Structure 1
Amino acid sequence: MKRVKSYIAFLVAVLLLAGLAFTSTKGLGSDKSGSLDSISLGLDLAGGVSITYEVVGDEAPSAEDMSDTIYKLQQRVDHYSTESQVYQEGSNRINIEIPGVTDANAILEELGQPGNLYFIAQTDSEGNQNYQYNSGFQLDENGNIATDEDGNILMDESGSIGYTLNKTIEELEADGSIVLKGEDVADAQAGYQNSGTANTQEVVIQLEFTENGKQKFAEATKKAFANGESIAIYYDGEFVSVPTVQAEITDGRAVITGETNYEDAANKASIIRIGGLKLQLNELRSNVVGAQLGADAIHTSMIAAIVGFCAIILFMVVMYKLLGVAASIALMFYVGLEIFFLSAFEITLTLPGIAGIILSVGMAVDANVLVFARIREEILGGKDVKSAIKAGYSKALSAILDGNITTLIAAAILGLRGTGTVKGFASTLALGIIVSMFTALFVTRIITNIFYGMGFENSKWYGKAKEVKVFEFTKKRVMFYVISIAVIVIGFATMGINAGRGQGAFNYSLDFVGGTSTSVTFNENWTTEKLDSEVVPKIRELTGVDSVQVQTVKGTNEVIFKTVTLNVDQREAIASMLENDYQVPEANIAAESISSTISNEMRADATSAMIIALVLMLAYIWIRFRDITFGAAAIIALAHDALVVIVCYALTRIQVGGTFIAAILTIIGYSINDTIVTFDRIRENQYGMRHKDEYEQLVNRSISQTLTRSLFTSITTFIMVLVLFIFGVTDIKNFALPLMVGVVAGTYSSIFIASPIWLDIKTKLSKKNK
């Protein structure tokens, strides 16, 4: 009895902690306090600071220079948030929108004047020092550290330590001490080179200059080398590096040595690259803008999350009894920990970020389902509950780790190589996976053991697996292949027809193709909700566009409407409506063309990141399963699922915007996890094979054994997305629908595509080896 009371006390403590973690998530989109209030929200959910720069000079900049500058600025503002947006407005303006901040002046002060990267000679033509190193100490007349009469070290009045300029930038430019500028840098990368000692390498920064920069650098290094001087790299008020010149460099390539580690070298190289903007920019205006989706989006998302969470708990309890209760308590821990870490790591949460969380919730449930299925199998095999729990966690561990690690590989590469929304998605996905593994493998197990210790030792509380009925899934695999190919072909044919009609293969949003920004200063202050209900429907009716983004400007009556590109008639129709219906003067209406927020370079980064992630996932599966055929089949299944989602966008004409990339990535992460579980069971069952001609029975048995788990995981994930679709605003519905299609496609492919393809590959290889 004493033992039971101890377990009851443990359970009460766990419930209190779970309740505390879960209730701390209140407050998003309301005036209540809670952990969610400290989460940084993106432009689509909370707004932020908008800054407009104008290119200096009378000549219009080239499209190439504008594109290059936008891309480099995007890399730079990622420091504030991975969800920051940089895009072109008109012919010579660049807009920067940074979420989660409200002080435009502070951002401008920190951001500095883009493009100001200087290479400064140590001395001017008369031998005067342009900069010097300040140790922070006072020196006596002999150059030694000065002390007072009590022997205390005297600090320099400035208190600064490090290099400081002796002149202003203007003075340095006037006397010719600035030998190169950022525009002279072609590239900068961190790397390694032989250090001179045997079998060792040192970290370096590798610089490459333009043709003009090559000549300037040759002249500068000739002078510096002759005098034993350095050339400082100076960016926005700080010294990036002050390397001593060790030779005259004439080939336009230089190496900076003495770096402490690769990360520091990479950061410095990034600053040099970003500072090498081709255009000089001046600030034109700055203001604070409101959320693009409005408070309704946050409110409905919260309702959807609560309804979905409750539905999942109900499903788990009904299907898994006491184990379902344990999983539900662990999920409460998961939600609380997820919110806590989102806040602690200052991860900006946007609509794509919500996708990462949804996926990780599904994977958290999936890990529990895997373990529970194993426990029930062990009970069916005759083991007592305690032994079944231990064996269940042990046997499910490899599938859980493999599924999550492959998804983590993708998240890591996307986070390192991606930009913008891709990087934000990767952050929330990686965090969610780590937290979900912790709660599933540790918290749920602790709670399950507490229940057992309280006296719930009878197997009736846990359920018993039924004898598995083996279905002949592979018998009609050709038919399933044909169905998949037909769906994809129909989708691509539709894309071709739409493109031929001039409608475009996809219904691209302004995120991809740019559009028109209409700035309107009303006679009164309008809320986002009122604008969405009154003005936006009229704009849609007049222009025929589906999506209209709305941003309010804090402290003013100005509102910015962003749509796909409007022609002259559409612009005039909007202006006429605003003048007649809302008495807005013509002078208070201005329309400008804006570029896409997802540049070609960002798309290229996302594509390269995806390819690298797929290659690494293939390598991981090859190593873990000791058979490359598993990896090949998994990659084919991933391609299938991604293509099905793409077809969904083409057939439904849902706008392809920033969430498109997130949707594709979400489904890839979900699908690989689903497929790995089936492959893990094939690998396990393969040990009992006697003949190679048993492959077909092996696959059918393995799929049948994991079928319930695949369906249950899909149901729980589908529930989360479905409630988002039911309760969400238009933008969220357009995001949720492809995700639902992707979940169905991922489940279909793991059952009917991935494993049968592995069977075909394996069978053909076996025949060749005979």
Structure 2
Amino acid sequence: MSKLGTIGAKLHRGEISYDFVGKRKLWFTVSLVLVAISLLGLFARGLALGIEFKGGVEYQANVKVTDSTVDDFSNAVKATNAEDLGDPVVTTIGTDKVRVQTRPLSQDDITKVRAAIAQEAGVQPNQVSNSQIGASWGDQIANKAIWALVVFLFLVFLVIWAYFREPKASMAAIIALVHDVLITIGVYALVGFDVTPATVIGVLTILGYSLYDTVVVFDKVRENTRGITGSNRQTYSDAANLAVNQTVVRSINTTLIALMPVGSILVVGTVVLGTGPLKDLSLALFVGIAIGAYSSVFIAPALLAAFKEREPGMQALRRRVMARRAQTAGSAGTPVPALAGAGATGATAAPAGATRVQDVRPKSKGVTAGTPVASNRPVKSTGAAGRPQPTRKPRSKRGK
């Protein structure tokens, strides 16, 4: 068995344990810092919305890409002096294609920009493809994406509530999912990648992945906490922490296996292709899977335990557990008193001439087991020196 497998087996049996739930204040602080950085990047820099959301015109032409391709095409488009042109976005696709995106333009300006791109690329204007997307259509796409996210979270809340029959589990899962979405969107704002429909698909995908991991942990929590209020051995937080330890190795394995192919797609989409749906989709998947694994182990179970510990029944359970542990600790540290009158050997000497008393279990009925009875055998008397003296036979039996 591998080292990780050995550790996983010990974690599952409870032989070793890490206090995930007990250190929830630390994890909550880390998450708040990450969310704050994401929100700062979101409000300070904003999202680089793709043309599908903000509208505009996109041109593509085949050209041999060089180090100056982006600057050359950007200057050529600006030289047209089209109305409301703004700063065109020029990107390269692989090594043989260039893409230019502008704001929504009139038909005459679209024709001028297309001709400028064709002249710079050394091709005919009809070899430059262009597609126009209206701003109103982009707003519709953005609104539908937001509504899709809201409906998804609402359905998730209902499904988890119905499965676990516990609204607090739904609340913890939804907070963890919102945490994942905010950090993923914040990374997009800080990195500057375009937000496209592929990005929306990636975000919804990672929400499903994170939710699956969280449900597995919650299911183990439910198994460990079944009938917990009828005992005084562990609190709800203790049982939840045991569930996290029992599933953490599985979460690590599935996360690493999922991140390896997604990371490969991200490298290919960013370095080789330069742009396109693969880059937008893979970045959302990569960040979301990593953050989702973190939230399902460190955030969601800790939130569930914090919510449940506020219930009166769980508070009474905690008091009983604490009292039992205090009593056990006190008993372990109290020395056992010695018997009164005990000598070096721990036994008192019987007076001389006394009848020896034995603790026996008589076989006859009517006598209680363990009742002391007198033995019929004579007891050797002790002399002044304490040595045993021989017994003498009765005079009538001597010589026989």
Name the TM tier (shorter chain): 0.5 to 0.7
1:634 lines up with 2:173 in the alignment = yes
Aligned pairs (5 A) from 1:431-510: 468-498=15-45, 505-510=46-51
TM-aligned CA deviation for residue 588 of structure 1: 7.7
Residue 311 of structure 2 aligns to a residue whose secondary structure is helix
Contact 1:663 1:738 in 2 (8 A): yes
Q: Distance in 1 between matches of 2:29 and 2:110?
A: 45
Query: What is the RMSD of the two structures over their aligned residues, measured on CA atoms?
Result: 4.0
C-alpha change, 1:673 and 1:319, in structure 2 (3 Å) is farther
Where does residue 730 of structure 1 map in the other structure?
274
Q: Is 1:704 the equivalent of 2:242?
A: no
1:719 aligns with 2:273: no
CA distance in 2 between partners of 1:722 and 1:589 (Å): 33
Matches within 5 A, 1:181-330: none
User: Does structure 1 residue 661 correspond to structure 2 residue 200?
Assistant: yes
Code of the residue aligned with 1:608 in structure 2: it is W
- Go from structure 1 to structure 2 and tell me whether the alpha carbon gap of 1:571 and 1:734 turns closer, same or farther (over 3 Å shift): farther
Residues 114-153 of structure 1: pairs in structure 2 closer than 5 A: none
Aligned to 1:425: none
| Post-superposition offset of 1:572 | 6.4
Residue by residue, what CA displacement relative to the aligned partner does 1:655-710 show, whole Å, maximum 9, x if unpaired? 11111111110110000000001101100001262249701211211100101001
Distance 1:469 1:693, change over 3 A: closer
Alignment of 1:21-32 (within 5 A): none
Kept in 2, the 8 Å contact 1:513–1:564? The answer is: no
SS of residue paired to 1:517: strand
Matched residue, 2:224: 685
The amino acid of 1:545's aligned partner reads V
For 1:467 and 1:716, locate their aligned partners in 2 and report how far apart those are by CA, in whole Å. 26
Name the % identity: 25
Between the aligned partners of 2:190 and 2:163, the Cα distance in structure 1 is 38
- Are residue 673 (structure 1) and residue 212 (structure 2) matched? yes
Query: Aligned partners of 1:571 and 1:490: how far apart in 2?
Result: 43
d(CA) in 1 for partners of 2:52, 2:151: 24
Matches of 2:204 and 2:49 in 1, distance apart? Answer: 18
Match of 1:579 in 2: 119
Q: Secondary structure at the match of 2:16?
A: coil
2: CA distance, partners of 1:535 / 1:595 = 32
Give the direction of change, closer, same or farther, for the CA distance of 1:651–1:574 in structure 2 (3 Å limit): same
Per-residue deviation at 1:622?
1.8
- Of 128, 134, 137, 1:595 maps to 134
Report the CA distance shift for 1:545/1:537 in structure 2 as closer, same or farther (over 3 A).
Answer: farther
TM-score by length of 1: 0.34
Unpaired stretches in structure 2, ≥5 consecutive residues: 75-87, 317-400
Q: 1:532 to 1:548 in 2, by over 3 A?
A: same
- Identify the structure with bigger relative contact order (alpha carbons < 8 Å, sequence gap 6+): 2
Whole-Å separation in 2 of the counterparts to 1:668 and 1:749: 11
Structure 1 residue 721 displacement after superposition: 0.4
Per the TM alignment, residue 518 of structure 1 is displaced from its structure 2 partner at its CA by 3.7
Match for residue 565 of structure 1?
103
Match of 1:534 in 2: 65
SS at match of 1:471: coil
Q: Which sections of structure 1, spanning at least 5 residues, go unmatched?
A: 1-316, 322-372, 381-463, 499-504, 521-530, 551-558
Residues 14-56 of structure 1: per-residue CA shift (max 9 Å, x gap): xxxxxxxxxxxxxxxxxxxxxxxxxxxxxxxxxxxxxxxxxxx
Report SS of the residue matched to 1:764.
coil
Q: CA deviation at 1:512?
A: 1.1
Matched to 2:118, the amino acid is L
How many residues are paired up? 292
Write out per-residue CA displacement over residues 599-648 of structure 1, whole angstroms, 9 at most, x where no aligned residue.
Answer: 43344344334333322322222222121111111111111111111111
